[in-house]
Amino acid sequence: MTSTSNPATRFRRILLKLSGEALLGNQDSGIDPEILYRVAGEALEVQRSGVQVAIVIGGGNLFRGAGLAEKGMDRVRGDQMGMLATVMNSLAMQDAVEKLGGSCRVLTSLGIDQVGERYSAHQARRYLEAGDIVICAAGTGNPFFTTDTAASLRAVELQCDLLLKATKVDGIYDADPKKNPAAKRFDRLSFGTAIQSQLGVMDLTAMVMCRDNKLPLGVFDMFAPGALAAIVAGEPVGTLVEV
Ligand SMILES: Nc1ncnc2c1ncn2[C@@H]1O[C@H](COP(=O)(O)OP(=O)(O)OP(=O)(O)O)[C@@H](O)[C@H]1O
Ligand SMILES: O=c1ccn([C@@H]2O[C@H](COP(=O)(O)O)[C@@H](O)[C@H]2O)c(=O)[nH]1
């Protein structure tokens, strides 16, 4: 087995949580190939620099269980559709990584053998050490959770040094910047402050999971080219949350 670990880099293994909704780009539904390929290329660049890269992708561009339930669907069934949406996004990302010359595995938390191998933390770690990008699809496999929570859970299980949330805003603000243009961005803050002030960018279950396991969390703009490589190189991009 070849290891991708490189002592010269700041992080050995990261988990990158990608916004499903951001994959929409300027489209009304589905996946914008330009965004998909750019993000795949950036993840691959970081992986080739010697950092092991696991990925969790949201499903907000396709379905969210809560939204389906509001329209009358059974919540559990709606959440299952949401989890399957993350599988579709994961397959698209796997395809893009492979088209760019990388090696990528999709491990799913729901049993869909023909589509992806069933998730196991030990197998995921083996693939990461062998130089594959590993996409953890279908969230936690359970309804009533989000892919933010799945990302924090997988990051802890996979012994990642850093969880990075790539989203539609460029960090954590003292209020939702999409609703309040006067909101101020934090460069750094503690989990205590983020949790107490209920700063909505990441759900509370995910924040608590990171805090309790001393896993630093970075939040940055998924549309900013080069941001991922810069963060991994130790540059202060977006917001860093620490214990
Ligand atoms: N205090 C805050 N700071 C920054 N963003 C915030 C804050 N409060 C709410 N938000 C909102 O949170 C959103 C990101 O959260 P959301 O869960 O929608 O993420 P996402 O990355 O789009 O997830 P998905 O993968 O489900 O599509 C941002 O678009 C922003 O408008
Ligand atoms: O563990 C999980 C993760 C996700 N879901 C469902 O999938 C959608 C899409 O995920 P987002 O985090 O909103 O992008 C989510 O709304 C849930 O319906 C889930 O049930 N369990």
Q: In tens digits, what is the pLDDT along the chain, a chain of 243 residues?
A: 333 444 445 899 999 999 999 999 989 889 999 999 999 999 999 999 999 999 999 999 999 999 999 999 999 999 999 999 999 999 999 999 999 999 999 999 999 999 999 999 999 999 999 999 999 999 999 999 999 999 999 999 999 999 999 999 999 999 999 999 999 999 999 999 999 999 989 999 999 999 999 999 999 999 999 999 999 999 999 999 999
By C-alpha distance, which of 214, 208, 206, 209 is closest to 243?
214
166-179: pLDDT as tens digits:
999 999 999 999 99
Q: How many domains does the chain have?
A: 1
Identity at 52, one-letter amino acid code: Q
Rg of the chain, C-alpha, whole Å:
17
Q: What is the strand order of the sheet 239-242 is part of? A: 117-118, 104-108, 133-137, 52-57, 13-18, 162-167, 217-221, 239-242, 188-190
Instruction: Provide ipTM, 2 decimals.
Output: 0.96
Distance 171 CA to ligand 1 centre (A): 9
Q: What is the CATH number of the domain that holds 145?
A: 3.40.1160.10
Say if residue 225 carries a ligand binding annotation: no
52 lines ligand 2 (CB under 6 A): no
Q: How far apart are CA 110 and CA 160, in angstroms?
A: 22
By C-alpha distance, which of 227, 97, 240 is closest to 163?
240
Tokens of 119: 């998730």
Say if residue 144 carries a ligand binding annotation: yes
Say if residue 65 carries a ligand binding annotation: no
78 Cα nearest atom in ligand 2: 18
Residue 118 lies in a domain: yes
Among 55, 86, 201, residue to substitute to test ligand 2 (most atoms within 8 Å of Cβ): 86
Distance 181 CA to ligand 2 centre (A): 28
β-bridge partners, 1: none
Residue 105 lies in a domain: yes
Residue 153 lies in a domain: yes
Distance 118 CA to ligand 1 centre (A): 29
152 lines ligand 1 (CB under 6 A): no
Q: How far apart are CA 31 and CA 15, in angstroms?
A: 21
Residue 208 lies in a domain: yes
Residue 3 lies in a domain: no
84 lines ligand 2 (CB under 6 A): no
pTM of this structure: 0.96
Say if residue 60 carries a ligand binding annotation: yes
Residue 1 lies in a domain: no
Whether the CB-CB separation of 11 and 54 falls below 8 Å is answered with no
Q: 177: domain range?
A: 13-241
Tokens of 196: 């107490």
Residue 56 lies in a domain: yes
164 lines ligand 1 (CB under 6 A): no
146 lines ligand 2 (CB under 6 A): yes
By C-alpha distance, which of 50, 49, 67, 69 is closest to 58?
67
Counting other chains too, the contacts that 204-209 makes at CB distance below 8 Å and 24 or more residues apart are: 205/145, 205/146, 205/148, 205/149, 205/152, 206/146, 206/148, 206/149, 206/151, 206/152, 207/152, 207/241, 209/149, 209/152, 209/153, 209/156
117 lines ligand 1 (CB under 6 A): no
Residue 2 lies in a domain: no
By C-alpha distance, which of 210, 128, 229 is closest to 162?
210
43 lines ligand 1 (CB under 6 A): no
How far is residue 51 from each of residues 93, 94, 234, measured CA to CA in Å?
18, 18, 13
Predicted local distance difference test score (pLDDT) of residue 10: 82
3-class SS string, 144-197: CCCHHHHHHHHHHHCCCCEEEEEECCCCCECCCCCCCCCCCECCEEEHHHHHHC
Among 180, 201, 241, residue to substitute to test ligand 1 (most atoms within 8 Å of Cβ): 201
